[in-house]
Structure 1
């Protein structure tokens, strides 16, 4: 990789600036010289040849846009001179595809310490869930959360309550001017940087050392919406109960909502004939809230005693099921972190593990490559149908896939959805596609799976965990705290500046790829090596330390 320039694919007619290039600079790449009339900010791209109105722009070897006005050689592509366009795709365009699996021998005998479940799957965590079937029970769930977490040692630090208490004390003593002049609070030494070696069992107060946590979900669904939304929520909640990181669940039901307990029980058994331990509580049958909560507390506590008897045992890396996600993306995402976890995906698939690439709006423009990698026409047709149906729903609401890039994406070089998507698809590596799944369908096939979810960070991670991911890799160029209640979310920076600026949310750095210190393959292999310790419970992700338990079910409509 050049110190300042990168042309990703031989067919591309744009070059990426890896560092800020000043106006008037003359730069060379592979024997060609370019003069930059306006300068190019790092992560942005300039054209290698003049473009007239309607001419295509290629990046990653595919069409990513068409010029809306003349663009001179060396000029930067922007939202003012380029519009989104992607190549057409379909079964008729399928081309033969060959793939050489990477050498995974260095990991062939590696194991992680996981929780073995009755259905044969292995969890990286041992959680108990408390979930409502309807939004009416959210308050009760949050009340249980406060009680259990504080008394069993799972509660987050009280440092912010301490700050409010100090300010209240000053106010009550008439010292408002002191408050105004105060310097910002300084973080306690142990919270300045959360290191990757921090132990999962660091809370000495915890009486249940083999229970990694009790996770409390809330949502705004279950009644009052469409029956289809309730059915989708049912499948999602069943997927969370059946996730290998979950031992069982306490389920709170009001009683009269669309999503009934028998629906959930049936769906849990349909997804997993071995079943999971589930406690069902019915408020309208029990009577008073006090009776409901007392029963829930006692029965849940007794189950925790049983769950605590389960201990970690060795498991091969083939038992890992890893979600592949990006968010807060920048112009380096498709160059460093995304291809690095794509290589990890290929390694894990070679070992018999499962990976899952989601967020279908961010596969726009990469469809044909994925279709070529499908094992058969049946799966290819399913993928095409899911993409076309999703795109049509978005367009019917006046919002197409082309509107996916956010202001932050655009500012950092992702000018069109096709540019963003072509880079995002690199998270899927080069392997053949093993299976195509609709939202909430369980991940079963070894290798790379495609799962239909929105691109929205939390809706996508929520969906991947619901389909069985026991770890999630999340690349970011701008920084995001996104986490998940049951599946550890690893935040991977595309550039080292981000890692240094936001150390409390970033777990792993792919910046060395940009700096030329590591190859994509070296970075991906180092990440897989680090994941073994994470899966074993040797340490936590930053999102776990922060208690970032994001959960948003997808209402099957328009969400990009």
Structure 2
């Protein structure tokens, strides 16, 4: 096994693949180096003498500047390296030599999904229940308790018996053919993967734009192919008015025709009347949704979200490039890939711009990036403050270093579209989606923009999941996969150990995606019922 490697031939630092002690002799690219410090796995050391102010390169891009003189073999730390990133403008004119992957082995492959009338295909079949305003959160929780208990997912409240009575059927009603008894051994509705209940702290107060963004996000969730229909509770007087929500839904999909139940508490009257109406109508909706069955769909119907969290110094070497391989495969097959987390594209903007073939797309990307960075700086922060303590501890000591590795999730294919937060994905190929680097805010945004599978890399471990989109957790190293098997679905550690190539790992991961998309395998986040939902208010969140 190699002890240390460079990622690009222009790099002037190397990353250690194992813990190395001071005085160790390490061969990198055929040259022998003597380490002047202990260097832990995932951390870096200098391949040449650096003077104060010299530029530091990794992945072939600028990732930092020397804060002091650094000798060949010195370990790089936050004390001797400062964040630094390349400037970017419009297209540079650089030639991009992208060679599309061979997809001949995948063209006839299919997954079993839920076909929607608008042409999208779900990897799951959920009914969604959520409020337009936080005032209804308590009622959402009451509904959740009743449905979970009776449908086999749990907890006592007075609406349980009411729902039970409906399920047990009335003379001549359709419910008679659906169920004769409640059981936790087998789902009541075999073609429904679950009823998902969202709560949030928005919809009123704050600025009106927050409510507008929330309505667009929730509209994207209903339009997500994994959702069969939805029940929406409104108080009536909030900023997020029903009309605003309906207009948002129409803007996301003018031909939207899924079952949609919207109930206004101030119009209906008592809480009991509201909840009984919600239960009755939702049950009718579930009966209809249960009639949909999984059918084969081509891989072009996959819309994969690309996310990372709890990253380490191996993420950009093993896990993220593996996602990049999958992204290129899915894009070449006619599917969609969505790369999120704009703060983690800092320093690779020019590379991404050069992969765009539309000037309007370039202008939109530059405007979103600069507006976001300015907002961070105006608040006294900045993209350079993005790495978390965990990132730094495990080798990602500057934001540009973290970003250069994070961008590998997007592979090498051309960028086909740039999406602002809550915009819904339409174009096949690689799409860039403006979200924060915050794990949950970003995965929340990916599902709202139409991702029907989310691939989530981690080097440190995080239990993040999503209510409507399966999240496949990908480990960057074998130690994490062995230590936290309850949250890791796929391990790319064999890349670090020299046992598998990125291409082989990517192909293995795509096979797992097909299994999850077909309902043959549940992700660890699904098993843990990890269903995180945090809307981004467009404030400063890195």
TM class by shorter-chain length? over 0.9
3-state SS of 2:533 partner? coil
The TM-score normalised by the length of structure 2 is: 0.94
| Aligned 1:10-29 pairs, distance under 5 A | 10-29=9-28
Does the aligned pair in 2 maintain the 1:125–1:245 contact within 8 Å?
A: yes
User: Does 1:204 pair with 2:185?
Assistant: yes
Quote the offset at 1:400 in angstroms: 0.1
| Partner residue in 1 for 2:243 | 262
Q: Is the 8 A contact 1:94 1:368 kept in 2?
A: no
Q: Tell me the secondary structure at the aligned position of residue 457 of structure 2.
A: strand
**Whole-Å Cα distance in 2 between the matches of residues 330 and 340 of structure 1?**
15
Unmatched 5+ stretches in structure 1: 157-201
Given candidates 305, 310, 317, the residue that maps to 1:328 is: 310
Residue 404 of structure 1, CA deviation: 0.2
- For the pair 1:535 / 2:509, whether they are aligned, the reply is no
Post-superposition CA distance 1:372-431 (Å, at most 9, x none)? 000121111110010000000000000100000000000000000000000000000000
What is the aligned partner in structure 2 of residue 237 from structure 1? 218
Contact 1:118/1:274 (CA < 8 Å) preserved in 2? no
Do 2:91 and 2:350's aligned partners in 1 also have CA atoms closer than 8 Å? no
* Contact preservation (8 Å) 1:94, 1:371: no
Give the structure 1 partner of residue 58 of structure 2.
59
Deviation string, structure 1 residues 108-135 (Cα, Å, up to 9, x no partner): 1000000000101000000000010000
Aligned position for 2:204: 223
SS at match of 1:10: coil
Separation in 2 of the partners of 1:98 and 1:36?
36
For the structure 1 residues 155 and 58, does the alpha-carbon distance in structure 2 shift closer, same or farther, using more than 3 Å as the test? farther
Q: Provide Cα deviations, 1:17-41, integer angstroms capped at 9, x if missing partner.
A: 0000011111112221111111210
Q: Is the 8 A contact 2:5 2:29 kept in 1?
A: no
CA–CA separation in structure 1 for the residues paired with 2:461 and 2:151? 32
Deviation at 1:153, TM superposition (A): 1.2
List, as ranges, runs of 4+ consecutive aligned residues in structure 1 with deviation greater than 2 Å. Answer: 202-205
For 1:466 and 1:207, locate their aligned partners in 2 and report how far apart those are by CA, in whole Å. 28
Distance 1:3 1:152 in 2: 53
Residue 253 of structure 2 is aligned to residue 272 of structure 1:
yes
RMSD: 1.1
Match of 1:558 in 2: 540
CA distance in 1, matches of 2:337, 2:447: 12
State the 1:318 CA deviation.
0.2
Give 1:127-526 correspondences, 5 Å limit.
127-155=126-154, 204-275=185-256, 276-526=258-508
Aligned equivalents of 1:155 and 1:447: distance in 2? 41
Residues 516 and 155 (structure 1 numbering): CA distance in 2 closer, same or farther, change over 3 Å? Answer: farther
Q: Measure the CA separation in 1 of the matches of 2:389 and 2:119.
A: 44
Distance 1:274 1:376 in 2: 28
How far did 1:204 drift?
A: 3.3
TM-score, with length taken from structure 1: 0.91
Unaligned runs of 5+ in 2: 156-182
Is contact 1:322–1:473 with CA below 8 Å preserved after alignment? Answer: yes
Q: Distance in 1 between matches of 2:281 and 2:66?
A: 64
TM-aligned CA distance change 1:428 to 1:53, over 3 Å = same
Superposed displacement of residue 68, structure 1: 0.7
